[in-house]
Structure 1
């Protein structure tokens, strides 16, 4: 297998880079780049991992990912099935606060923007009620000519800045200090867990994937994710369970629990409550009322 870089280069011939993707699935590996990234999910569903946190993403979501923030957009398994007919679409805006944009941020008139970017190095999700407005401004940046693109970009971030008190960080830990080798190893572990969460995974098995002893693996994983292996795996399984609970493809909660790697419904209910703060039935009922 070809070894993929952890740090992915982004074309930087412009101050503001706009990219539109239309593919069978998102790039399925943990990676980072020096540019911050604003992304609109036009089509697609899956799991977003940002540093050591994970979120279920869906069509319409808008996220800001910080500069050098490790992240992974993992499309749901059905997107990888042959002849599924599914695809993902996204609109992305890249910009490097420490690169070509730095002289702009140094201007006294741009102090508000420099402060906003500093405050949100760990990214955020745009609240659903404001997604349509932010998307329209992202499209304005995409459609702007050379002399208008910075004006559109500033208008976009003025709108985001107005939401400042509603924005919560995607991650409370900064894992940007990964070396390339560490990033590749952590990325391989994440991908292994995401592909196998539905079955029993022993500590010895996942440690072998990382080429470490079980004891060394536990220390390594906790150091680089600030979570234990079990806590991360449980959160991954509950995240997948939440997506299945809303898919209408399963008859009951018990069937969801077993397809997400839990051996009994009692353990599933206990872990679900510890991760989500409420029982699965209450969570599902609340979703139906939204």
Structure 2
């Protein structure tokens, strides 16, 4: 259930890759530094980008920023599913877009992509057509086609932000020594009894100093973060059709009523309602 870092390989001489993956039977909750444009065509499915979990019908076009955790969009789709994924090299924004003033709108688009952007209407139709066009073109033509696609997206008003806050895992990446240790400790102990005194000692801080440090890094208390982590793990288990009671105890809550109360407070609905709503979309 741990978020995985996907390692993406590119062909020499290529700034991006465009391909059609198929991971229907795989629960791939992952992130990568590369910005990604995803098109999925299916009767219905689930999109999980950052903290946003919602459904889509017929098709979906998404721009996902660097290091934003997301689930593969063909997960649990039992009907026919077509998918195109375009991934840009990690240095694409900094080295290819930043230096060129004519790409200013594209720069703003890619900088905003950390929120997860969903495109609809004519924008989606036009971009999907151009994705298919550049798939078999030579390197130069396909690259120019990509720039045209990005300009179309940057100029579009047919866009919805999926998240209203930064959901990148930079709290982990920006401070690899301490936050990496903390992340590993929480992951190993969230279903038990995570102890703030133990983790403070592990990173060589007093408990009060650790609490200040952690709040600065995550904008949450340690307890709130652990509970949020548990709830995110619970959502993933519920999406795999696990029983609500089993999920409650599996992620470390000792009271079903408290789990239901906390889930509704932060997610906006009960675990049962969440499970019923999202799994009914892909049955």
Q: Does the 8 A contact of 1:124 with 1:168 survive in 2?
A: yes
Residue of structure 2 aligned with 1:187, choices 180, 183, 200? 180
Distance 1:124 1:234, change over 3 A: same
Residue of structure 1 aligned with 2:165, choices 171, 188, 194? 171
Aligned to 1:260: 251
Q: Deviations over 1:102-134 (max 9, x none)?
A: 344x12xx443234234x053415369999986
Q: How many residues align?
A: 250
Q: Shift of the alpha carbon at 1:143?
A: 4.4
Distance 1:155 1:19, change over 3 A: closer
Q: Does the 8 A contact of 1:19 with 1:93 survive in 2?
A: no
Distance 1:178 1:187, change over 3 A: closer
- In 1, Cα distance between equivalents of 2:119 and 2:149: 15
Q: Deviations over 1:24-47 (max 9, x none)?
A: 99798x98x5xx5116599xx9x9
- In 2, Cα distance between equivalents of 1:62 and 1:142: 18
Aligned to 2:118: 126
Is 1:102–2:103 an aligned residue pair? no
- In 2, Cα distance between equivalents of 1:155 and 1:266: 52
Q: Does the 8 A contact of 2:37 with 2:62 survive in 1?
A: yes
Q: TM (normalized to structure 1)?
A: 0.63
Aligned to 2:206: 213
Structure 2 residues without counterparts, runs of 5 or longer: 41-45, 73-84
Structure 1 residues without counterparts, runs of 5 or longer: 1-5, 76-89
Aligned to 2:77: none
SS of 1:248's equivalent? coil
SS of 1:100's equivalent? helix
Residue of structure 2 aligned with 1:284, choices 270, 275, 280? 275
- In 1, Cα distance between equivalents of 2:202 and 2:54: 27
Aligned to 2:229: 236
5 Å-filtered alignment, 1:66-77, equals 66=66
SS of 1:92's equivalent? strand
- In 1, Cα distance between equivalents of 2:236 and 2:27: 17
- In 1, Cα distance between equivalents of 2:172 and 2:239: 35
Is 1:92–2:87 an aligned residue pair? yes
Q: TM (normalized to structure 2)?
A: 0.65
Q: Deviations over 1:57-106 (max 9, x none)?
A: 99x9955224xxx556799xxxxxxxxxxxxxx762225323133344x1
RMSD: 4.6
